[in-house]
Amino acid sequence: MKVPDKKDFLSMSFEELTEFITASGYQKFRAKQIYEWMYRGNDFSQMSNIPEKMRIDLDGMAVINLPKIRKKLVSDIDGTIKYLFLLNDGNFIESVVMKYNYGLSVCISSQCGCRMGCRFCASTIGGKVRDLLPSELIGQIIVASADIGERISHIVMMGIGEPLDNYDNVIKFLKLVNQPEGLGISYRNISLSTCGIVPKISELANLAFPITLSISLHASNDISRSEIMPINNTYSISELLYACNNYFKKTGRRISFEYTLISGKNDSKENAKELASVLKKHISGPIHVNLIPLNPVIERDFKTVDRHFAQKFADILKSLGVNATVRRTLGPDINASCGQLRRSEEINNK
Ligand code: SAH
């Protein structure tokens, strides 16, 4: 006989959980109690205001699928915290918590691995292992926040994986995060970064959540972008920017563009001019370009540029009317750019 799958409580909205609890013969207020406990990072055994018999029954039919902290690195320089999380099937993901003057911001992973194949990125080297469930997406925030003992107010989906390649779970996650009974985080405090899966950008635009869309552009023309980002062979820069402009028109949200500077690949004055021109041609709303000196990945032979050089690139963009800043490097002493901690853990475990 096949054992039925257990319910994944943390992937359920408050409404769905309430329905399940009442359909299982319990009183409605129990759903609120369970929700409060699990959003504080607790398992059934810790739910002290729920009768023991009910806790045992719940444990038999459901799971609270929180990741476990396997490693934690804290920067002595700026307090940035990097977590290596263990998932319940033995896979690893990473999250980073950054301190800003407006509060704590968490950068979360959206998949275990990635299949997008960007040439400069460590997260994609082993390919995609699997998508993360809504519970595993929200679990990163709950566990980090409980560990630090402070509320996390901002989310960036810029960790391992491509969020729009895990679209349904990510949308469910965004709704969970926004629920007042859940984390109560405003959509305006959430950024989602994508390499540019155009049809999914359009679907997201139709939902009109006022989240910030960040586009990993990294090149000023199709030839150069296709060389470093395989997704560009499917959707060209003009198709991508057309979808971005549509996103702006539907949500009114400024689009952010990520541009990783790679020495000798995309960092010339001509690239800066071409970038300004292509962005202004396609985007009617406000634009912001985030310049990121490449974080060198051991397995790749791309070279980075220094900050001074990146600033000059930013100055050219600004002189052409495109707002640009060089991204601040947080936690330089705990570096391991995204994906590298997970990779080293997996290699060591083999
Ligand atoms: N898949 C999504 C989100 C994850 S990557 C995306 O592509 O946007 C988060 C950001 O880090 C992206 O802009 C990505 O291109 C960038 N990135 C990846 N590897 C990098 C590296 N070695 N140095 C600098 N930025 C990198």
214 occurs within a structural domain: yes
Question: CA 131 to CA 136: how far, in whole Å?
Answer: 10
The residue with greater pLDDT, 328 or 20, is 20
Catalytic residue among 52, 94, 162, 239: 94
Residue ending a domain, choose from 21, 42, 63: 63
What would the pLDDT profile of 316-344 be if each residue is shown by its tens digit?
999 999 999 998 777 777 864 556 677 76
- Ligand 1 in contact with 258 (CB < 6 A)? yes
Q: The CATH number of the domain where 23 resides is what? A: 1.10.150.530
User: Torsion over CA of 135, 140, 144 and 150, rounded to 10 degrees?
Assistant: -60
Residue 330 sits in a domain whose CATH number is 3.20.20.70
Whether residue 149 sits in one domain with residue 31? no
The sign one gets for the Cα dihedral 278, 280, 283, 286 is: positive
pLDDT tens, position by position, 32-71: 999 999 999 999 999 999 999 999 999 999 999 999 999 9
**Domain count of the chain?**
2
State the distance from the centre of ligand 1 to the C-alpha of 197, rounded, in angstroms: 14
| The predicted structure's pLDDT at residue 1 | 46
Range of the domain at 15: 7-63
Q: Are residues 48 and 86 in the same domain?
A: no
Compute the mean pLDDT over every residue in the chain, rounded to the nearest whole number.
94
Are 317 and 330 within one domain? yes
CA atoms of 63 and 43, how far apart (whole Å): 8
Residues 54 and 40 in one domain: yes
Domain membership of residue 2 (yes or no) is no
Are residues 238 and 168 part of one domain?
Answer: yes
For residue 217, give the nearest of 272, 143, 175, 176 by alpha carbon.
272
Position 82 scores a pLDDT of 95
Does residue 17 share a domain with residue 121?
no
pTM for the whole thing? 0.95
pLDDT in tens, 156-189: 999 999 999 999 999 999 999 999 999 999 999 9
Catalytic, 94? Answer yes
Catalytic site includes residue 19: no
Any residues with CB less than 8 A from the CB of 138 and at least 6 apart, and which? 10, 173, 176, 177, 182, 183
Whether residues 242 and 321 share a domain: the answer is: yes
301 lies in the same domain as 185: yes
